[in-house]
Structure 1
Amino acid sequence: MTLQPIVDTMTSDSPRDVLVRFAPMIYGPTLLFALGEGAVIPLIPVIANRLGADVALAALIASALVVGQLCGNIPAGWAVARFGERLTMGVAGIVILGGLVGVVLANSLAVFAAAVFLIGFCAASFALARHSFMTTRVPLHFRARALSLLGGTFRLGMFVGPFISAALLGIFGDESASIAFFAVCQVATILLVFLGPDPERAIAAPTARATRGVDAEDTGEPVTGSIPTVERTGVFRTMWRFRGVLARLGLAAASLSAVRSARQVVLPLWGVSLGLDAPTIAVVVGVSGAIDFALFYASGQVMDRFGRLWAALPAMILMGAGFFALSVTHELDSASMWFAMFAAVLGVGNGLSSGILLTLGADIAPTTDPAAFLGSWRTLTDGGGAVAPVLISVLTAAVSLPVAVAAMGVIAVLGAAGFVRWVPRYVPRTR
């Protein structure tokens, strides 16, 4: 099979045709994994508390999932580049099953925290493998829509998962039922990965010209393997080679991740600080999340039609303005109304940014060996998301919650400036 027929097939298919073709190979496993993880995440602090942790320690153990994913990105980049996406995902899924056994059988906080960390560490392999696959297989003209749909599929699972967990708890009255549900989802995911159609063979990687929209030499050589492996340079050498873009556009992306993460922390804390009851806070946060989820595909449409900056910049401006405005409403008589209003604004901003980090990473990744680069890129973005809650906690303890919220607005403004400066320089034009 020569190169040209593959490229023609990929570029002649409509976005809908290719996305439907990806459903059982990409979106199905992603949804199953997210449903299981979403069902278990709310239970981590509960189980930790039952094992003897206080509130602060339970929160720290819950963060082990995020820390595990942060630590797993670079090893996952190496594994995907070295062994391929399918094998990496399958092995990671089996190890996650071992982590779930550890969660069920843990009789100490140390064992439980280690099991949670292991699940997060291996979850990075799923996320990076799918990101790497889409980077090399989806043509540039609808890359953002495909990646936004990937992010939206994960959000759907994380949104529905807690409700499934609540139903299981109501029926069985034991957290083990939700953990078993995650295990069933994981087994189904592993079976899809190993027994379903191999996406790396079913859809061969197009050339750099087709995926990036830039000139590339066509040598006429046959395409073999999954992801091109010419001149593999290793994870750390790749980080050094691309240190310029990682230190510039990567930091802007990390700021967006920080602002997104801050929204999830700030909204519940703000409701508590206003003295609102739990159902009211849940409704406000839920509506904000629903708005966020509803816009995920629109974000991809905007990026594909008008460019990446048209999604990143409005998202950062809206979230920055929302944080700034919220920070000055705490003492107002109508503080609760403003809380609900600006929670919705933050939901719109977050929804408009759906898929942007995945898309920017795919845009600037090397076409011949993207996994190693994407491991570094995802480490930066996940690091931004992990740092934000810590910064909010420190500023709240040292000064006040409104000051911490305003600081998130400052980060959003700085991130917006970074996108304006660096996106036109590093991201290839799509039109």
Structure 2
Amino acid sequence: MTLQPIVETVTTDSPRNVLVRFAPMIYGPTLLFALGEGAVIPLIPVIASRLGADVALAALIAAALVVGQLCGNIPAGWAVARFGERLTMGVAGIVILGGLLGVVFAGSLAVFAAAVFLIGFCTASFALARHSFMTTRVPLAFRARALSLLGGTFRLGMFVGPFVSAALLGIFGDESASIAFFAICQVATILLVLLGPDPERAIAAPATASTTGDGGDAEDTGEPVTGAIPLVERVGVFRTMWRFRGVLSRLGLAAASLSAVRSARQVVLPLWGVSLGLDASAIAVVVGVSGAIDFALFYASGQVMDRFGRLWAALPAMVLMGAGFLALSVTHDVGDAAMWYAMFAAVLGVGNGLSSGILLTLGADLAPPADPAAFLGSWRTLTDGGGAIAPLILSALTAAASLSIAVAAMGFLAAAGAIGFVRWVPRYVPRVR
């Protein structure tokens, strides 16, 4: 599959038609992949413990999934630029099947950790290929809605997956059933990606009838071509990283702070409930309600970004999450602490929901239209790195000071990120209209 940017050629098409056209290639595989991954992720520490890991080592092995994804972004950018999105997604899916076999038949913790890392590594290729595909093919006018829907589809799968796993464990009583479910989802994903209808065929006619890309194609007058035919130059992953070092070191770091705050929310809410002495069911209800609010807002985020601009989603999200963390940090020892916990968990859910799709959309906005994969590899490395480092910061600050101090630090990080978005989004991101 070649990278033929058609952002300007399909702007007369409706959002609904484009989104339906992408369903077999993007949204369907994303949902299947997220369902399978969501079913297996909660089992990784359980399997590690059965193989002899203590709690700390089991947590480290579970983190291998995130580390693998972080390490896989740069190679994924090279692979997508070199071989195309469809082939990269298909091959990544096949390799993930090999990783699942390693998970099932691992006889030692080393083999099991390597298999988990491999799954995370190939997940990066799958995710970046989807991102690159939509960057080059979704019109700017409704790009945010399309990418917010992509993020929402993934969240839906990750939300439902653990329940599927629980049902399978109840029926079969063995973790292998959930792993087999992930494998079945992967096979279906690979078939959809490699054999499903190509959305580019439906838009080939308008694409050839109008101008594409930044440089544009000359009108076909029937005259012989006497000059050189312009080609898109592929400059490579590391040259692209250096070329875009300004935006990556500025807006990229602001995006990394958003990813860190999001990741911190997932860690802080259960820990705060435990620190208050709440039972597991109460914590699950609070976290579940926060997650439901988050999920309910994913498409609204895209609507806001497409109508009013990217900053109108990024800034409220950071302000709400920052205020939520800061307010939560001072309620631990007050009366009705559980009530405040539930209230600010809801605030964090609203903030996180308003940020749905913003990192994908900003990456697509900033990437070179004709060859975005190399840039997206660097962009996703920054954002994934922010998400990976946040739990470490929380752990270190909690050990050195207290959980309240650690939560307050996340609030200040959100404030710093909000300032970064205000400063750099208007400079680097093109206006929607």
- Into which bin does the TM-score normalised by the smaller protein fall? over 0.9
Change (3 A) 1:150 1:41: same
Residues of 2 paired with 1:302 and 1:7: CA distance? 20
**Paired position in structure 2 for 1:429:** 431
Q: Is the 1:39–1:161 Cα contact (8 Å) retained in structure 2? A: yes
> CA-to-partner distance for each residue in 1:141-162, whole Å, 9 max, x for gaps?
1000000000000000000000
> CA-to-partner distance for each residue in 1:343-376, whole Å, 9 max, x for gaps?
0000000000000000000001001210000000
Residue 107 (structure 1) shift: 1.1
> CA-to-partner distance for each residue in 1:55-94, whole Å, 9 max, x for gaps?
1111111010010000000100000000001111111111
Following superposition of structure 1 onto structure 2, how do residues 210-289 of structure 1 map, counting pairs within 5 Å? 217-220=216-219, 230-289=232-291
Question: Which deviates more from structure 2 when the two are superposed, residues 393-402 or residues 192-201?
Answer: 192-201
Residue 25 (structure 1) shift: 1.4
Q: Is the 2:132–2:372 Cα contact (8 Å) retained in structure 1? A: yes
Residues of 1 paired with 2:287 and 2:219: CA distance? 54
**Paired position in structure 2 for 1:24:** 24
Residues of 1 paired with 2:400 and 2:212: CA distance? 48
Residues of 2 paired with 1:137 and 1:91: CA distance? 22
Q: Is the 2:89–2:126 Cα contact (8 Å) retained in structure 1? A: yes
Residues of 2 paired with 1:193 and 1:46: CA distance? 32
Q: Is the 1:229–1:368 Cα contact (8 Å) retained in structure 2? A: no
**Paired position in structure 1 for 2:316:** 314
Residue 220 (structure 1) shift: 3.6
Aligned residue identity for 1:138:
V
Residues of 1 paired with 2:7 and 2:341: CA distance? 50
**Paired position in structure 1 for 2:14:** 14
**Paired position in structure 1 for 2:342:** 340
Question: 5+ unaligned residues in a row in structure 2: which ranges?
Answer: 1-5, 222-229
Residues of 2 paired with 1:345 and 1:210: CA distance? 45
Q: Is the 2:152–2:356 Cα contact (8 Å) retained in structure 1? A: yes
Residues of 2 paired with 1:363 and 1:220: CA distance? 27
**Paired position in structure 1 for 2:406:** 404
**Paired position in structure 2 for 1:3:** none
How big is the alpha-carbon RMSD for the aligned residues of Structure 1 and Structure 2? Answer: 2.0
Residues of 2 paired with 1:206 and 1:339: CA distance? 52
Following superposition of structure 1 onto structure 2, how do residues 124-203 of structure 1 map, counting pairs within 5 Å? 124-203=124-203
**Paired position in structure 2 for 1:225:** none
Following superposition of structure 1 onto structure 2, how do residues 56-67 of structure 1 map, counting pairs within 5 Å? 56-67=56-67
Give the number of equivalent residue pairs. 419
Q: Is the 2:9–2:207 Cα contact (8 Å) retained in structure 1? A: no
Residues of 2 paired with 1:265 and 1:295: CA distance? 21
Aligned residue identity for 1:406:
A
Change (3 A) 1:142 1:210: farther
Q: Is the 1:133–1:200 Cα contact (8 Å) retained in structure 2? A: no
Residues of 2 paired with 1:339 and 1:210: CA distance? 54
Residues of 2 paired with 1:347 and 1:53: CA distance? 33
Change (3 A) 1:8 1:407: closer
TM-score calculated relative to the size of structure 2: 0.94
Aligned residue identity for 1:84:
G
Percent identity over the alignment?
87
Change (3 A) 1:210 1:379: farther
Residue 218 (structure 1) shift: 4.1
Residue 199 (structure 1) shift: 3.7
Aligned residue identity for 1:190:
I
Change (3 A) 1:189 1:350: same
Q: Is the 2:9–2:212 Cα contact (8 Å) retained in structure 1? A: no
Residues of 2 paired with 1:79 and 1:368: CA distance? 15
Residues of 1 paired with 2:20 and 2:396: CA distance? 46
Q: Is the 1:138–1:211 Cα contact (8 Å) retained in structure 2? A: no
Q: Is the 2:36–2:183 Cα contact (8 Å) retained in structure 1? A: yes
Residue 195 (structure 1) shift: 1.1
Q: Is the 2:7–2:136 Cα contact (8 Å) retained in structure 1? A: no
Residues of 1 paired with 2:233 and 2:241: CA distance? 15
Q: Is the 1:140–1:210 Cα contact (8 Å) retained in structure 2? A: no
Q: Is the 2:92–2:125 Cα contact (8 Å) retained in structure 1? A: yes
Following superposition of structure 1 onto structure 2, how do residues 376-391 of structure 1 map, counting pairs within 5 Å? 376-391=378-393
Q: Is the 2:7–2:139 Cα contact (8 Å) retained in structure 1? A: no
**Paired position in structure 1 for 2:92:** 92
Residues of 1 paired with 2:87 and 2:361: CA distance? 24
> CA-to-partner distance for each residue in 1:370-398, whole Å, 9 max, x for gaps?
00000000000000000000000000001
Residues of 1 paired with 2:247 and 2:315: CA distance? 18
Question: 5+ unaligned residues in a row in structure 1: which ranges?
Answer: 1-5, 223-227
